[in-house]
Homo-oligomer: A and B are copies of this chain.
């Protein structure tokens, strides 16, 4: 039985709490408010304390654990393990997923990226992570940073491209739902082909006429810039220039 305390009461924390409550061999000791309840006593009974707060609060909250005996981990994709206090048992427990309030997630399929400073602690984290996920992977802080940037490209930036697609539809009185099958197929395709092979469109075809026509059709400066840099990057990828 691994005793766990969650520190932080946001979105990710509530999803983790839900998953741990359903897990076997885990006892969720407490879910604490990171700004109010961090008395050393309430933390001393746990094997693992998971700090689930915003990136810029990790260092501050971490200081409360400077004399902690338990394994202290954070859940951030972009903060190094060393942001936690020196001299204690430290780790990272990074769930690679986007969470939405009040929308259930199944942790079984969510990759949990773990890091620790010695084999024993890594073993504890691996055991703990495996109680809620089937995809536990050990990666170091440098890899995690790259993975987090990759996640920003495929999630944050992709979502913004959906937003632009929707805006272009709405401005022209076209229902955005029309694009739904295309969006689905784009994802499905990279299950069968690599993204390199799956690329289609005027940028890859080196179609200069279409590029000029689309650039002059787009009104927003931001959308023009995005169209231009992505077209340029696709062309550089396939060794073609306009």
Contact = CB atoms under 8 A, between A and B. Distances in A.
Contact of A179 (B96, B210, B217): B96
> How many copies make up the complex?
2
Interface residues of A, number: 90
A184 to B, nearest CB: 7
A201 B155 contact: yes
Contact of A198 (B56, B100, B236): B100
Given A147-B169, A172-B147, A222-B232, A183 B155 contact: yes
Contacts of A223: 233
Contacts of A184: 187
Interface stretch (A14-22, A39-47, A122-130, A189-197): A189-197
B234 A230 contact: no
A203 interface: yes
A182 B96 contact: yes
A242 interface: no
A234 B163 CA distance: 10
A162 B157 contact: no
A221 to B, nearest CB: 9
A164 B155 contact: no
B187 A233 contact: no
29 contacts: A78-B202, A96-B181, A98-B182, A98-B186, A109-B181, A137-B175, A143-B173, A143-B174, A146-B168, A146-B172, A150-B168, A154-B182, A155-B185, A155-B201, A156-B199, A156-B204, A156-B230, A157-B230, A159-B199, A160-B195, A160-B233, A162-B198, A163-B199, A164-B233, A166-B195, A187-B187, A222-B232, A225-B233, A229-B229
Given A105-B185, A139-B174, A166-B196, 6 more contacts: A147-B179, A152-B203, A155-B185, A160-B195, A160-B199, A226-B230
